[in-house]
Every structure is written in structure tokens, then in C-alpha cells.
Amino acid sequence: MSGQFQKDRAAMIADSKLAKYFAPRELDLRDWDVMTGIPPDSFCRLNPEVCDPVSAGLVNEQEVLQYFKLYFKIRHPSVGILDPDLHTAEYVHGCSFTLFSVICALGCELSISHRDILLAPLLYNMAERNIKWSILNSVKTVEIIQAIIMFTFWSHAAQNYADDPSWLRFGHALSIARELKINDSSFIQKKVNNFNASNRNMYAGIRDRQIRNYERTWIFVFLMDKSFGITIGRAPCVSWTEMQPGLYGWARATGSAAGDLAITGIVQLRINLLQALERLLGMQKTLSSIAEWDQSASLRLEELKDTSYSRQDGTQLESMFAAVFTFEVNHGLLLIRNNTYKHLVKLNASQEKINSVLHDIFNISCEIIRLFVHDARLSSLASGYHNTPFVMISHAATEVIRSFKCPTISQEAQEQASALIRNLAEHFGRIANKLPSTSWASLYLEYSLFLVRKLENIPCVAPRGSQGALDHHTVQKYNEISISLDEEPQSSPNAWDFNGAAFFEMGNSLWQDNSASFLGVDSGQGSLFGGTGM
């Protein structure tokens, strides 16, 4: 009797497991819902009492509010994936303990209190654990996509460039985004309606913001795909055809979040730049055609920078986001000039023309550094920058030193530019001092000090000394860089061929030689802003 009972029981369990395994599952179950549905004896079980900083007793509500405030004040302007009016601490905690943990960790890292400095590694590890747990348990919500994107943007630097796992995590976020169809407006509206209905319309008053939350996330999936294609060297997966048309109107709509205008401006910047590079790849290259291309491409970017951004209610693009956007446009202009210079040299143009473009590269690069170091708006965001702006600023600094060989640049201008390079190193030192040693700022501090060291090889600026007014921590780093450089074989024939710029040479080659195909731009697709004239 007992044997038959055991067989029947085993059959029932088998049937139950089979039924659950093949049963249809709602795609966007919250991580809270998934956690409660996991059997108690499962290895994938996460204890609800330690799933977020508040539940674990690490922080109180007041500290959470402070972390959210720091995140939105310092990090949000450079990656505006969230809506400050929607993503309150209470709302985020109810939607996803994973996203909640990520915001707390990223905000805590910016705090200067002794307790938060000690607590930051714990919160960072908790956020990373929650993301891994969500991936392991196939949690598929817009909040998980946002958490992965944010954590990837501000992850700590890997010990080796080739070991950076960012592209793996982003690939998972992209897969979720496509499965949730967050690039489909009609599907998004249905999803938001179902969510509000299941929560007894608790969030009915913010339905429009919830819809924009999905749409904005897809824009950042697109932007991140393009950014990581450049900085990590991985081929992107999102085609321009997967973007919804009319984004400019979307950004100007009443109720848009702070930063939406800048986001769509950066998308248009990428489109203008890559369409220009695609045209360059396909055209017959002569001195006159290169000159015309340079003028046309630069004009489109300049017009974009000068465009007056305003919402339908008349409010303007906030000053903080305007500074970020200007920085992005200036770097786009630098890339245009880089390509022009390269092709003029290949076509054996006159030295006068080459020097003219090289002088432009020098001026644009100095302006990028000046904006990054001395603009009060960008300086206030310095601790919240992610890897991509650091790549841009280091590229500009590299171009400044390369441009010193141009005879039309006066010694006074070179000395002023050298002072900018030293100011940049000191600025990186201040940023790195506020962040963990594994931050991207520490990596680029070393590169900026490498450039300061190289100034000693340039006769017209070397007499001023290499250390200048650098603080003690930065001088110590400078001495470490100097020792390591002195140990390298000095095989370069002149001061312009320096080993440390290999990374940026690789980045430039991606833009200059095969940017359009590498970034997945197809001919004739046009602007995704639907012909608004932006």
C-alpha cells in the first residue's frame, strides 16, 4: 500500500513540475513576485530579509532619501534614464528591489560621510548580487533593464580591457528589452494598463510617465548599444530601424522628464555624425570633396548645438543638461576634423591646408578640456561621470599634444594648452580622490599624468615643469607613472609617437575607417526625428 502511495505521490509531483514548467508565464513579473515564488529549498532562493539595503537593516529611510538625492543630482544628468518625478524611493522600492539597490549603491558612493564610505562596498556588492540573481531567475521587467544599464555605465574598471564584462550584461538587458517589446508603443500602453489594473490603479495618475519610462529606456538601450560598440569594441545589435520616429516631438511633450531633450539631441548627434561618416566612406575622395564634406558635416553639428530646445509648455533645456550636450557636440566636431586631417594627408594636400585643420583640432580639443575642467556645471557632475566622457576628454587631451607639431600654433597657445593638460590631471586627481581606487577616474588619472609626463619631451613647454600645482596625491601618482615610463624602451623616433595612445588610436580607427558599418548604420534610413528639421 505504502509503495503504491509513494508511486502516486511521485506521479503527482512529476505532473505538477511538468505543468509548471510548460505553463505560460507573465513576462514582466516583478523581482518581488519571482522571489516569493521560488521554493524554500532552492539554491536560487533569496532571503526577503536581506534583498535590499533597508530590509537588511544597513540603512534607514532618511539615508535612502539622501542616496536618491545624490544620484539624481550628480549622476542623472549624464545618464538620464530615469524620471526624477516618477522614480521616487517609495515607487522604485515597490517596483523592484534590484533597481532600488542599484540607486542606493550608486548614490552612497558619492557621499563623503565616513559611514557611507565604509558602507559603499557593501551596497555595491548587494546591488551586483541582486542583478546576478535577477539574471539567473530570468526576471524580465523594465526596472531590471534600467538596473543593468545604470550598473554597467558606472561599474568599476576591470583589471584588463579585454576582461570588461559590460557587454555581456548589456546583451542580457537588450534581450529582455526586445522580449518585452518596449520599442512598441501600443504594446507599452497595454502593459502599463495591465500593471495599474493589477495594482488597483495605485499608479493611475502617473500613467503617461510610466509609458514614457518604457520609451526612454528603449532610447537608452539604443544609445548604450552605440556607445559600447565604440568604447568596448563589440559590434552593436540595435539597428536604427528599431527606433520609433518622432523622438523630437516626444522630448518636447508636456510632462517630459528633465534631460529628455538632451537625450534626443544626443541621438540626433549620433545620427548626423554617422551619416556623415557613411557618406565619407562611399564618396570619391578629392581635395575639393573632402573640403565640402568637412564643411557640410561640421555645419550640421554646429546647427544642432545652436538649436533652441524647448518643450511645448515653453520651458527650456536645463542648463546642466545643455552643458553635457555641448560637450558631446564638441567631441563630434573633433571626430569630423580628425577624419578631414587624415584624408588631407593621404591626398598629399598642401601643408597650409593640413596645418589649418590641425589648428582647428587643437582649438576644439582645448575647448573640450576647458569645458570639462572649468565649467562650473560640468565640474559639479565630475564624480558622477561614467566611462564614455572620460574616453572623450582623454581623446581631446591626446589631440592637443599631437597638434603641437603645427607651426601655426604659437608658443603662448601651446603653453596655455599645456597648463590645461596639467589642470586636467589635477581635476582627475580630485575626482579619483572621491571615488574607490577601482573607479574609471583613477584609470584616466594615470593616463592624464602620462600626458603630463610627455610634455617634458616637448621643448617649448618643458621648461615650465611637469608637476605644476598638482596636489600631493596626484604628484605621487605622477611619480609612479614616471618610474614606469622610464623603464620602457625609448624606441620612438620623436615626441609625437608615444606608446600610451594606442587605445585611442584604436578608437579613432573605428570612427575613421569603418564607423558606419561597425555601428550598424544603413544607407537611406533618414532621421528618426521624422523630418522635424533638427
H, E, C per residue of 434-447: CCCCCCHHHHHHHH
Is pLDDT above 90 for 531? Answer: no
Distance CA 384, CA 353 (A): 40
Higher pLDDT, 492 or 474: 474
Please tell me the predicted confidence (pLDDT) of residue 291.
94
Give residue 456's pLDDT.
Answer: 77
Q: pLDDT at position 189, please?
A: 84
Q: With a cut of 50, say whether residue 532 has pLDDT above it.
A: no
Mean pLDDT of 51-55: 94
- Residue 465: φ, ψ to 5°: 85, 155
134-157 b/e with 16+ CB inside 10 Å = b? Answer: bbebebbbbbbbbbbbbbbbbbbb
SS3 226: helix
* Residue 421 CA to its chain's centroid (Å): 23
**Is the Cβ–Cβ distance between 76 and 84 less than 8 Å?**
yes
Contact in structure between 164 and 443 (CB atoms under 8 Å): no
Average per-residue pLDDT for the chain: 79
Place of cell 508565464: 25
pLDDT top residue among 2 and 20: 20
* pLDDT exceeds 50 at position 527: no
Please say if the pLDDT value at position 517 is more than 70.
no
Residue 46 has pLDDT above 70, yes or no: yes
Looking at residue 425, what is its pLDDT? 93
Determine the straight-line distance between the first and last CA of the chain, rounded to whole angstroms. Answer: 80
514 pLDDT higher than 50: no
pLDDT band at residue 273 under the 50/70/90 scheme: confident
Res. 511: pLDDT tops 50? no
What are residue 310's phi and psi, to 5 degrees?
Answer: -150, 150
Average pLDDT over residues 306-319: 59
Domain ranges of the chain: 19-231, 256-349, 364-519
* C-alpha 329: how far from chain center: 15
Of 9-23, 29-43, 69-83, 201-215, the poorest mean pLDDT is in: 9-23
Kindly state the average pLDDT of the residues 83-90: 94
Q: Which is more confident, 190 or 492?
A: 190
What percent of the chain is predicted at pLDDT more than 90? 38
Q: What are phi and psi of 316, to 5 degrees?
A: -95, 165
- Least-confidence region, from 263-267, 317-321, 480-484: 480-484
> Which of 301 and 8 is assigned the larger pLDDT?
301
Of 426, 424, 416, 418, give the one whose Cα is nearest residue 470: 426
* pLDDT value at 397 more than 80: yes
Instruction: Give mean pLDDT, residues 294-314.
Output: 75
Confidence of residue 434 (pLDDT cuts 50, 70, 90): confident
pLDDT of residue 493: 33
Q: Does residue 419 register a pLDDT over 60?
A: yes
- Residue with more model confidence, 55 or 10: 55
pLDDT at position 379? 86
- Of residues 25 and 364, the one with the higher pLDDT is 364
Q: What are phi and psi of 163, to 5 degrees?
A: -95, 5
pLDDT at 529: 28
Task: Please enumerate in sequence order all residues whose Cβ is within 8 A of that of 89, keeping only pairs 6 or more positions apart, or say none.
Answer: 61, 64, 65, 68, 100
> What is the per-residue pLDDT for 101?
98
Band (107; pLDDT cuts 50, 70, 90)? very high
Going by C-alpha positions, the residue among 377, 375, 373, 445 that lies closest to residue 416 is 373
What mean pLDDT comes out for the span 119-131? 95
pLDDT tens-place string over residues 200-251: 555 556 888 888 999 999 999 988 887 765 555 565 677 766 777 777 778 8
Q: How confident is the model at residue 3 (pLDDT cuts 50, 70, 90)?
A: low
* 74 pLDDT above the threshold of 70: yes
| 3-state SS class at 79 | coil
The pLDDT-based confidence of 315 (bands split at 50, 70, 90) is low
Question: For helices 440-454 and 472-486, what crossing angle results, to 10°?
Answer: 60
Is 327 strand, coil or helix?
helix
Residues 6+ away with beta carbon under 8 Å from 519: 226, 229, 230, 236, 274
Residue 84 has a CB neighbour count (10 Å cut-off) of 16
Pick from 68, 127, 79: nearest CA to 386: 79
